[in-house]
Structures are given as C-alpha cells and as structure tokens.
Amino acid sequence: MEPLSAVTTLLLSLLYAWVLYNTPILAAGIKRTRSLDSKAEEKNAVHESLPTVSIVVPVKDEEKVISRLLKALLRLNYPRDKKEIIVVEDASEDKTPEICREFSEQHPGCVKFFHRSFSKGKPSALNFGFRQARGEIVAVFDADNVPEPDILLKAVKYFDDPSVAAVQGTTCIINADENMLTKFISYEEAVWLRDYLQGKDALDLFVPLTGSCELIRRDVAEKVGNWNEDCLAEDLEMSAKITDEGYNIRYAPDIISWQEAPSSLTQLIKQRIRWFRGYMDVAIKYGSFLKKLEKRSIDAEITLIGPYVLSVFFASYIICAYTFLFPAPPSPYFVTVSTLNLLLTTATLLIVGIALMYTARPRSVRNLLWLPFIYAYLCLQSALTTYALAQVLLRRPKRWVKTAKTGNCTEKALTEF
C-alpha cells in the first residue's frame, strides 16, 4: 500500500469511528428532547429546606453587560437569606468597578464586591470568589449572562441525588438575530446542548461543564482542588476532575440562561482557538481515563479528543488538495477511499442537519438549508483545531484571550434588563 493511501486509510478509520460513536448519542438526545417537548411543563419541586447558593461572577472590562446580569441575579426567585452574589472584578480598565460597587452599596449583604488590582485570568478569579463563598452550592455565571428567574429553584432538585456533584444548565443566545454569524452560533449551541449533551445525560455518560450557567457542590469543588489557574479550559478540567472522583454531572434542559455570542469572525476565531487549545491540554492530562473500564471515563476521553479528530478533517483536506495539485493515475483503492470520504462527510452533515431540524426554533425542514454553511463552518473549525494542535506540539505559551462583549440583545423579552 502506498504511504499516502495508508495515511488516508488511517485518518478515515479514525473519522468513521468517531462519527459512528457519537451518532447514537445525538440520536438519544433528539429522542429525549422530543419526549420532553411533548410533556406538560412540570412544577418546581417543593423543598422544605433549600440549600444556600453562592453565585460567583468573574468580571473584567464588562461595563456593557455587567449591569444587565446583576439586575437579573437580583430578580432570581430564591430566598434572599439563602443566596449571595459574589462579584470578583479583575483589574478592569473601564467603568466595571464603579458599576459593581454601586450595586453592592444599593444591595448590602446580597451583592458582595471584590476588586483585584492585578488580573490573573478567569480561573484565578473563580478561586478567589470561591474562597469568599458560604453556600453549599456554588453557581458560576459569565458577565454577559441573563438567567431566567426560576433557575435556582429548578437547579435544586438535581442535587437531591447525592451522586450529582455538578449541573450544567442550558445557555441560549441573546443576540441570535444580530447577524448571520450569531444566528448560526445559536443553532450550533442548540444542537450541542439540547441534543448532544442531552444524549450524554440520557445515556449516563460524561457531561462537560461549559463555563457559565453551571452549579457545583462546594465540598466536591474543594475535594478536587477547585479550578486550575493554568488551564485555558478550566470548566472542562473541573468536569474531568469531578468525573475522575466518580461523581456525576447532569445536564439540565430546564435551567436556562441567555448569553452573548461573538458577533464578528475575529472574536469567534480567538475564542475557539483558546477553547481547542484548552481541550487538547486536558485530553493529554487525563489520558488515564482510557485505563478505567467504565463507560463514563471512556466517553470522557473520547469527548476530550474531539478537537484532535477535527484536525484530522483538516488533514484530509490537505490530502485532497495535494492530489488535485499533483494528480496521479487514479487507482481503484484511492477512488474507493475518496468515495468513502465523501459518504462520511455527507452522512455527518445529514446527522447534524436532522438534529438542527428538530432543535432549532421554529422547527422547519428549511433549517436543512443551513447545511452548506455547516460544512464551511466545519472547515473553519478544523483549521482552527490544527492551529491549536500546532501550539500544543510547539509548546507555545498559554494565553488567556478574553472574548469582548457588546451588550447587544435581540430578544425583546430581555431588553428590560
């Protein structure tokens, strides 16, 4: 077998295995989503003794959105003496400190404001806020979030199960109709959360935390050493540490918070490179998951290597470009491999398209028209993962890149904030 054919076969085998593995998970998520949609909305569970909740909000240069978040947190339907809001302001250079301080003065005892003169990144700010927290449950929200009023009451019922250490809520895009990019990201977010993570939860697999609209038991966070301040994906590593200790993370479709999506391609690229680099670092660190003969641990490692698989997509594009620039007499083997590659790509797009058709609102077959853009987006993502992989291999310094927020909101029901 020629070297090029051997490499192509190896890459395609990995791609097929990864797609085939994740397809049943996506299908399970779609099935549960349809089942939940067909049921009447359940009332919140009544608890005789609600746990105390500390809401930690790390902020830096967030003058355009922080006021909106704090107003929403103050409106949460939860006993005042059972909750506290801890704002950790991380050396901002705009009016964020003044805005946070004003809220703290207007709501003493409820909003606690801490200013840090030197920024060390989000994980460090989270750990600082955690040390000030007194709640049994610690909730984390990014500054651009707008949680729905009943979010804490709904979250409590998940922690009735002592094996549950953390809960990941559902984040919806608050500026989905700003432009074509934000609309597409809103669809991506819907498929990722409402279908993929829903499927993982239904099958009792590894559910990763996403960094916002997440709640963690305080004692478990302490046991695993809180957030790693040297990690670009601190939420993912926290998920890995929790799973490694044998605890469960649940996905909660009924816990909803709105957040802003990057509205420019430049911001999206910076954000995703940081995410992919963080994923890759965590995948290497927790490769020992494969040694455990437990489905949740094995699924965790398969999830973590996702960016590596995306970089394989990019490698397949390079091979195709090579064969186009340097054509050779076609062999039956290479024709077969190329056909399989086309079938794999088509099958992947159709699977995602079906998930999008069921998940995106409003539901419509017309959502399949997004498939060409999904393919272009997949190409972009594969290029970004390859760039992140190069950073890992070359051991480039890790750099936390903050995603700028504009404060834009296209959801009319949320403009009051």
Verify that 97 and 168 share a domain, yes or no.
Answer: yes
Q: Locate all alpha helices (DSSP H) within 292-331, ordered by sequence.
A: 295-304, 306-325
Verify that 239 and 312 share a domain, yes or no.
Answer: no
Verify that 19 and 111 share a domain, yes or no.
Answer: no
Q: Note the pLDDT of residue 118.
A: 87
CATH number of 198's domain: 3.90.550.10
Q: Note the pLDDT of residue 401.
A: 81
CA dist 180 → 183, 189, 362, 364, 371 (Å): 5, 14, 16, 18, 14
Judge whether 75 lies within some domain: yes
Helix axes 122-132, 234-244, angle to 10 degrees: 60
Task: Show the domain range for 119.
Answer: 48-264
Q: What distance in Å separates the CA atoms of residue 184 and residue 341, rounded to the nearest whole number?
A: 25
Q: Note the pLDDT of residue 279.
A: 94
- At residue 405, φ and ψ (nearest 5 deg) are -110, 145
Judge whether 36 lies within some domain: no
Six token digits for residue 63: 């003058």
Q: Can you list the residues of the chain whose pLDDT is less than 70?
A: 1-8, 37-48, 320-324, 327-342, 344-345, 348-349, 352-368, 370
> Over the range 176-215, which residues count as b (16 or more CB within 10 Å of their CB) and which as e?
bebeebbbbbbbbbbbbbbbbbbbbbbbebbbbbbbbbbb
Verify that 336 and 256 share a domain, yes or no.
Answer: no
Judge whether 150 lies within some domain: yes
Strands (E), 30-72: 53-59
Domain boundary among 264, 284, 309: 264
Q: What distance in Å separates the CA atoms of residue 413 and residue 192, rounded to the nearest whole number?
A: 24
DSSP category for residue 167: E
Entry pTM: 0.88
Verify that 90 and 191 share a domain, yes or no.
Answer: yes
CA neighbor of 166 nearest in space, from 251, 75, 42, 285: 251
Is-contact 145 257, C-beta < 8 A?
yes
DSSP helix/strand/coil, 229: coil
**Residue 373 neighbours by CB distance under 10 Å:** 14
Judge whether 38 lies within some domain: no
Judge whether 158 lies within some domain: yes
Judge whether 273 lies within some domain: no
Q: What distance in Å separates the CA atoms of residue 70 and residue 74, rounded to the nearest whole number?
A: 6
Verify that 165 and 258 share a domain, yes or no.
Answer: yes
Verify that 384 and 335 share a domain, yes or no.
Answer: yes
| Residue 171 region by backbone torsions, left for phi larger than 0, else alpha for psi between -120 and 50, else beta | beta
Q: What distance in Å separates the CA atoms of residue 389 and residue 277, rounded to the nearest whole number?
A: 7
Is-contact 110 74, C-beta < 8 A?
yes
Model confidence pLDDT, tens digit, residues 267-307: 999 999 999 999 999 999 998 887 888 899 999 999 999 99
Verify that 22 and 69 share a domain, yes or no.
Answer: no
Q: Note the pLDDT of residue 111.
A: 96
Model confidence pLDDT, tens digit, residues 196-252: 999 999 999 999 999 999 999 999 999 999 999 999 999 999 999 999 999 999 999
Judge whether 135 lies within some domain: yes
- At residue 241, φ and ψ (nearest 5 deg) are -65, -40
DSSP category for residue 289: G
Judge whether 409 lies within some domain: no
Verify that 259 and 358 share a domain, yes or no.
Answer: no
DSSP category for residue 51: P
Q: What distance in Å separates the CA atoms of residue 167 and residue 252, rounded to the nearest whole number?
A: 7
Verify that 340 and 205 share a domain, yes or no.
Answer: no
Verify that 7 and 59 share a domain, yes or no.
Answer: no
CA dist 299 → 38, 120, 312 (Å): 29, 32, 19
> Over the range 280-293, which residues count as b (16 or more CB within 10 Å of their CB) and which as e?
bbbbeebeebeeee
